[in-house]
Structure 1
Amino acid sequence: MTINDLRFTESDSRAKSTAHVGFLLIPEFPVLPYATVIEPLRAANHLSGRTLYRWSHISVDGEPAQASNGVRIQTEFSVGTDAHFDYVFVCAGGNPASFRDPPTFAWLKQLARRGVKIGGVSGGPYILARAKLLNGYRCTIHWKHAPALLEDYPELDLRRSLYEIDRDRLTSSGGAAPLDMMHAFIACEHGSALAMAVSDWLLQTHVREGTGPQRMALRQRLGIAHAPLLRVISKMEQTVENPASRKELARLAEVSLRHLERLFRQHLGCSIGEHYLALRLERARDLVRQTSLSVLEIALACGFTSASHFSRTYRTRFGEAPLIERRREAFGRGR
């Protein structure tokens, strides 16, 4: 296929109109997911020879929006604008759970009532959940934010996928995943020929399905090729709230408990218990930073039996008690 092979039928009214796409940039938004949404739109315009899309940037106060890497993007509108949009993508990162701006949520609800298609990338789906715009929809979010989102909104149909397009909601887990979502988006809007041309032009040699996994396989992530050990580690990651016993893990690996301990020491440099504890404390730290759950609630969600034991263990691991870290994080965000 070449660029000259691209064709649009006269009956396809979507090809003759220009869609206005808004980007709501929440402070500390990540640049990569934002770029992988906007660049395919630019490529679609260039390769089709038509202005299929135009875009504008929106911030909460109309001031330039600062990304997590310090880059500042000039915005044309502020939240509440009555400008017409066909799509609005919410780009957020950092700790999206800490963003609590009622006018923004009200404006997003207003857009949805008008029939605007709403998207969220990286931490953006958290903002959509706050605005009650994901109820009844399949959705996804970056794996780092998923535990906190489910603690706040257990009723959501949250998938651990790369992206979800469900009627008039588009959510992506962030990173490079929006590039795959935009391939599906452009194919739906203007046909697979243009979508393939855009992916080819952007050197996207493999387009992933939306249902693909967000994270590398454990084998690649940990650099371990020992299959029984990988089964055990996978089980541990799935059972943070109700940790499996060491005997259960040994049965899963089909080895003795003593041999399993040796495998952990050999491949991970720690004991079974030490690795399990590290997993539970990392999950706890995410919940401390991203939710308003009490210390006891976080302790129970991460497999601890008491708030006091959890707080002591947390302080030993991270150098400060969970409530102290939460206050420090809140102070740093100016809340």
Structure 2
Amino acid sequence: MSRNDQKMSKNDEARVHRVGFLLIPGFALMSYASAVEPLRAANVLSGRTLYRWRHVAIRGSDIPASNGVRIPADATIGSAARFDSIVVCVGGNPAAFSHPPTLAYLRRATRYGIRLIGVSAGPFILAQAGLLQGYRCTIHWEHMPAFRETFPALPLSRSLFEIDRDRFTCAGGIAALDMMHAMIRIDHGARLASAVSDWFLQTEIRRGEAAQRLSPAERFGVHHPKLVDALSRMEKRIERPLAPAELARLAGLSLRQLERLFVRHLGTTIHRRYLLVRLEQARVLLRQSTMAIGEVALATGFATPMHFARCYRRQFGLAPREERVAR
């Protein structure tokens, strides 16, 4: 190899973006695949090695995903591996994660200007490490209630992904494809990013601010605008529920008219539907947070833990305490 070839090879190597996938046991395989495959595609389509990645474990030699698939670890958080970006992939109940060495590892990364990327429940771990203060962020909708209760000062959005300087956060699932499109566009331009998306049959590239969930109309199969308005308000007012009469007033209907809509389209009353919305939120908090049961009761609009426990057992067949033990 000539000196010029050697120089070119070294320059190419210097341009390679090194990515560490920090996989927390129980990570979501779909989210991981949606984040790593676009990097492989960028290499193939460009004809150059633009990205290299390694799998980082918090301990042990391989890391189990939520479905049991195991990924061999290339490094651990105690090794001296150097990265330009670290992607934190987490699933399950991130509020129960407690591993100070991992948080310290992520804090150290910020001293070297490493880009930090949280996928699915990954933003929860970044927040635990104190690395999202002053940054816009998002997280999978299932983890939002627990995230808001645990980190009330952080500016959480309901978007698919957020890019704020050197912090990338993503709701997970296939939304990671959209975020990686944005990352490749930042690193290597729109043409390559579009080619990668086209390769994955991604005919619509969603912007970060796109909604994570289907609208109430699509989720519940109802299309009456007044009913959709009331359902949307219910989901937004959990801690301090609106009275049925107030819901009707805001929807521009009488209470009797709104009750008829609920019975006709949903087969239930306003009160029962609203109670179910609050109890489903409570179940998420019990499963995805370490909040005390009394705190969960208050966060979902119940005046007393006793009333909350009674309603919860009636709906789900077990007490809140039993729910937490069974998770």
With the length of structure 1 as denominator, give the TM-score of the two structures. Answer: 0.92
CA distance in 2, matches of 1:298, 1:77: 39
- Map 1:83-232; keep pairs closer than 5 Å: 83-232=81-230
CA distance in 2, matches of 1:92, 1:84: 21
2:308 partner amino acid = F
**Cα pair distance change 1:215/1:15, threshold 3 Å:** farther
Counting aligned pairs with the same residue, the percent is: 53
CA distance in 1, matches of 2:218, 2:203: 20
1:99 partner amino acid = F
Deviation (angstroms), 1:14: 8.8
User: More deviation in 13-22 or 186-195?
Assistant: 13-22
CA distance in 1, matches of 2:102, 2:179: 25
Aligned to 2:22: 24
**Partner SS for 2:141:** coil
CA distance in 2, matches of 1:294, 1:83: 39
**Cα pair distance change 1:14/1:151, threshold 3 Å:** farther
Aligned to 1:34: 32
CA distance in 1, matches of 2:95, 2:264: 38
2:323 aligned residue (320, 325, 329): 325
CA distance in 2, matches of 1:292, 1:193: 45
2:297 aligned residue (296, 299, 303): 299
CA distance in 1, matches of 2:13, 2:170: 25
2:254 partner amino acid = S
Deviation (angstroms), 1:16: 6.5
Deviation (angstroms), 1:80: 2.0
1:80 partner amino acid = G
Aligned to 1:3: none
2:34 partner amino acid = T
Aligned to 1:261: 259
CA contact (8 A) 2:96 2:290 kept: no
**Cα pair distance change 1:177/1:26, threshold 3 Å:** same
CA contact (8 A) 1:62 1:79 kept: no
CA distance in 2, matches of 1:120, 1:65: 17
**Cα pair distance change 1:15/1:138, threshold 3 Å:** farther
CA contact (8 A) 2:95 2:290 kept: no
Pair 1:277 & 2:301 matched: no
Q: RMSD between aligned alpha carbons?
A: 1.6
Deviation (angstroms), 1:253: 2.6
Deviation (angstroms), 1:318: 1.8
CA distance in 2, matches of 1:269, 1:248: 21
Deviation (angstroms), 1:33: 1.2
Deviation (angstroms), 1:215: 0.7
CA distance in 2, matches of 1:75, 1:246: 54
Deviation (angstroms), 1:100: 0.7
CA distance in 2, matches of 1:98, 1:79: 19
2:134 partner amino acid = G
Deviation (angstroms), 1:95: 0.8
Aligned to 2:70: 72
**Partner SS for 2:142:** coil
Deviation (angstroms), 1:63: 2.5
Q: List alignment gaps of at least 5 residues for structure 1.
A: 1-9, 330-335
CA contact (8 A) 1:24 1:89 kept: yes
Structure 1 stretches of at least 4 aligned residues deviating more than 6 Å after TM superposition: 13-16
CA distance in 1, matches of 2:13, 2:233: 49
**Cα pair distance change 1:327/1:101, threshold 3 Å:** same
User: More deviation in 48-57 or 307-316?
Assistant: 307-316
Deviation (angstroms), 1:196: 0.8
Superposed CA offset, 1:81-107 (max 9, x none): 211111110001111111111111111
**Partner SS for 1:23:** strand
CA contact (8 A) 1:85 1:116 kept: yes
Deviation (angstroms), 1:323: 1.9
Aligned to 1:61: 59
CA distance in 2, matches of 1:139, 1:250: 34
2:45 aligned residue (40, 44, 47): 47
Deviation (angstroms), 1:327: 2.8
Q: List alignment gaps of at least 5 residues for structure 2.
A: 1-7
Aligned to 2:239: 241
Aligned to 2:284: 286
